[in-house]
A and B are shown apart, each in its own frame.
Chain A
Amino acid sequence: MFNRKKFTFNKQNKGQQVDKEVLKPLYSNLEKNLEVLNFLYKDCSDVVFRSFVIAGHIKAQLIYIKGMSNIEEIDNNVLTPLMQQTDQNSINPISLIEHRLSVAEITKIESFDTCVEQLSVGNPILLLEDNRQGYALGLAKWEKRAIEEPSGELVVRGPREGFTESVEVNTSLLRRKIKSPQLKMKTLKVGSYTQTTIMITYIQDLSDETLIEEITQRIKRIDIDGILESGYIEELIQDNSYSPFPQVLVTERPDTAVSNLLEGRVVIVVDGTPFVLVAPTTFYSLFQSGEDYYHHFIISTATRWLRFLFLFISLLLPSLYVAVITYHQEMVPTTLLLTMVDSREAIPFPALVEALLMEITFEGLREAGLRLPKQVGAAVSIVGALVIGQAAVAAGLVSDPMVMVVALTGIASFTIPRYNIAIPFRLLRFPIMLLAGTFGLLGIMMGLLAIIIHLSTLRSFGVPYLSPMAPMKRRDLKDTLIRAPLWKLNTRPHLTGEYNKYRQSSNQKPFPNKNEEE
């Protein structure tokens, strides 16, 4: 089931003796084996050692970890059949196991490290007297969350299932969607203590071999004590660590992951988190929602345009307001300007300070609303609405138009389907606001130029971040600013190297059968 990677403790640790013991093969002497295991699991009260006698005369030992193995099944399928008395005096314990153990998955163990590995995933270990082999029984069972709708990526139309914390469940979700055996999953273990399972999933012949090799290498290079979430992996394998822009797509939805697999990308599933990583990714794919492909293409295209519009609003609106109100008053229609002048008259701050104040308050409220328990969260949002809405205006701290600007910006930043691409834009809003406050529209232009230059230098696993816009790949434009009809999406986006270009035959446009009447 698992790829065998040698279990080693962190070299810097003092556990050198442990290290030595662990690499040894099992002894034939049960006592001696138990001694080593007892030493390894010293002070581990959750590890259960159960000694019993097989068929009346072979001493045996069952070891498992409480809460990780199915005790009922151990009772019914392991202990009960094995402990039955038999008439035969000399029985072969190995054949006994083969005959009597009604367990689906049995793995033979020959060394202590595999023994530890199997125990830690919940498989009980059976050790026999005078036998150099142990048996790991596939009876792992622990409490896990049921498959639920991913709360971070809600859709109106589309499957309601989401990944869970268990890597087995997640890979099974993928396998359920892609039935072809060409769906490959490579397992790696990362984290010297956590030994977290990481699955590199891809479809053979669709993904570039060198890309898979590169990703594997980058993950193998990681030497860290623990991986708790896919964010660790993301940060340790991305191309430019200093960029605020995500270079890996994160999703909780199996359908999104599968659609990316079908485009030749690689999905990295990390045990213990419902968030899987998709690499390589481009700027535009971060603005696609899985739902785009389930709705009519005209509607999806319109939605995409809406998203880009609101992206600009979330990035630029406060800056534009500041720039216009402090430098370019001539751009505002006269009537509107007079109203703005009226409402700004009693405000003690410059527009820039006003904008910063409000935006920071808003971000603070948002953060507070996220972290607080749900019951308190409602209270916070009421207070927030009051603070941002009326009280601040009534107190003469901010003007009415500013409230409007902040509210719009807030809404705008929530229209972006992926949280991780919304964050950098929300962050970059502040420096651009400062630029707008010092240089007006020219400052905004400078800020935008800097962002665009930065974006165009980024690469995600060798794929230019802004592709297919820069470098221009005309064929791939059909799924960026617009979403072409499905019967037009004939080719896969080009990522790196060789790729399997055609994804469907070119005559997919539905048409009524003209010969129907005959």
Chain B
Amino acid sequence: MPSIKGSVALYTWFAQFGIIYFFLPYLTNREKGMKSGSISVLAVTITLMLTNIIVILVFGRVTENFTAPLMSATRYISIAEFLSHLEALVMAIWIAGTFIKICVFYYAIVLGTAQWFNLSNYRSLVLPTGFLIGVFAMQAFLNSAEASEHFQEVSHGLTDTLLYGLIIPMFLLLITYIRKMKTFKQKGRGGK
């Protein structure tokens, strides 16, 4: 039980898969969407599991003492006295990953906003949103304590996962359902 309890907090990553809804309409082959989505969830799960296993195998009970255990673990690497302190590489990979992640979210935000305001082209929103992202990057969390408190208090436990992973999709499904009903009824009437 304690292990399940502990893993709940880690499940926020799953909520981030909510970004997939934004891209579903742009798929050329929707049939494959489900498959690719599942594959990516699986891939993320395996990666997370592997990193956790690596960290625990390397550090054991000391793991909790590190803020970024994976990075500390890579710092601990020493292959043949030559390859050591590889955390810069990990950082570089993180940066690349974060870059892609920001790109995806950025695109979703800009596109969504453009559609919301009925803009013909999303390009005009790119620059202002970029500025906003910049400002928020600086000001959202002023220090690491604030960030950790945010993650403990605001998106505590299952809130994020439930909100983005369950409630919003359910809500969307409901809306689509109602809309479909409506159009179906109208069509039905039109048919008469």
Partner of A333, one of B84, B86, B96, B99: B84
Q: How far is the CA of A355 from the CA of B178 in the complex (A)?
A: 66
Question: How many residues of chain B get a CB closer than 8 Å to chain A's CBs?
Answer: 13
Interfacial residues of chain B within 59-93, with CB under 8 A of chain A in the complex:
81-82, 84-86, 88-89, 91-93
Q: How many A-B residue pairs have CB under 8 A?
A: 30
Q: How far is the CA of A449 from the CA of B96 in the complex (A)?
A: 7
* Residue B57 at the chain A interface, CB threshold 8 Å: no
A330 touches B91 (CB 8 A): no
Partner of B91, one of A333, A441, A446: A441
Chain A positions within 8 Å of B95 at CB level: 442, 445-446
Interface SS of chain A: helix
Q: How far is the CA of A449 from the CA of B99 in the complex (A)?
A: 9
* Per-position binary interface string of chain B over residues 79-116, scored 1 when its CB falls under 8 Å from any chain A CB and 0 otherwise: 00110111011011101100100000000000000000
Q: How far is the CA of A328 from the CA of B92 in the complex (A)?
A: 12
* Per-position binary interface string of chain A over residues 443-462, scored 1 when its CB falls under 8 Å from any chain B CB and 0 otherwise: 01110010000000000000
B92 touches A445 (CB 8 A): yes
B88 touches A441 (CB 8 A): yes
* Residue A470 at the chain B interface, CB threshold 8 Å: no
- Complex: chain B residue closest to A323, CB-CB: B88
* Residue A331 at the chain B interface, CB threshold 8 Å: yes
Question: How many residues of chain A get a CB closer than 8 Å to chain B's CBs?
Answer: 12
* CB of A155 to closest CB in B, whole Å: 36
B82 touches A442 (CB 8 A): no
Q: How far is the CA of A456 from the CA of B146 in the complex (A)?
A: 40
Chain B positions within 8 Å of A333 at CB level: 81-82, 84
Q: How far is the CA of A328 from the CA of B87 in the complex (A)?
A: 9
Chain A positions within 8 Å of B89 at CB level: 441
Chain A positions within 8 Å of B91 at CB level: 441-442
Q: How far is the CA of A328 from the CA of B86 in the complex (A)?
A: 9
B81 touches A331 (CB 8 A): no
Chain B positions within 8 Å of A328 at CB level: 85, 88
* Residue A308 at the chain B interface, CB threshold 8 Å: no
* CB of A334 to closest CB in B, whole Å: 9
* CB of B72 to closest CB in A, whole Å: 13
Interfacial residues of chain A within 8-65, with CB under 8 A of chain B in the complex:
none
- Complex: chain B residue closest to A327, CB-CB: B88
Q: How far is the CA of A444 from the CA of B89 in the complex (A)?
A: 10
* Per-position binary interface string of chain A over residues 331-343, scored 1 when its CB falls under 8 Å from any chain B CB and 0 otherwise: 1010000000000
Q: How far is the CA of A210 from the CA of B84 in the complex (A)?
A: 54
* Residue A274 at the chain B interface, CB threshold 8 Å: no
Chain A positions within 8 Å of B82 at CB level: 333
* CB of A195 to closest CB in B, whole Å: 46
Q: How far is the CA of A243 from the CA of B39 in the complex (A)?
A: 34
A331 touches B92 (CB 8 A): no
- Complex: chain A residue closest to B75, CB-CB: A330
* Residue A318 at the chain B interface, CB threshold 8 Å: no
Known: A441-B91, A442-B91. A330 touches B96 (CB 8 A): no
Partner of A331, one of B88, B93, B96: B88
Q: How far is the CA of A488 from the CA of B88 in the complex (A)?
A: 41
* Residue A440 at the chain B interface, CB threshold 8 Å: yes
- Complex: chain B residue closest to A442, CB-CB: B95
Q: How far is the CA of A287 from the CA of B190 in the complex (A)?
A: 63
Chain A positions within 8 Å of B86 at CB level: 331
Chain A positions within 8 Å of B96 at CB level: 445, 449
Q: How far is the CA of A441 from the CA of B86 in the complex (A)?
A: 11
B92 touches A442 (CB 8 A): yes
Q: How far is the CA of A330 from the CA of B91 in the complex (A)?
A: 14
* CB of B126 to closest CB in A, whole Å: 16
A444 touches B84 (CB 8 A): no
Q: List 6 A-B contacts (CB under 8 A).
A: A327-B88, A333-B81, A441-B89, A441-B92, A449-B96, A449-B99
Q: Which 9 A-B pairs have the closest CB atoms?
A: A445-B92, A330-B85, A328-B88, A441-B92, A441-B88, A331-B85, A442-B95, A445-B96, A333-B82
- 15 further A-B contacts with Cβ under 8 Å, apart from A328-B85, A330-B88, are A327-B88, A330-B84, A330-B85, A331-B85, A333-B81, A440-B88, A441-B88, A441-B89, A441-B91, A441-B92, A445-B95, A445-B96, A446-B99, A449-B96, A449-B99
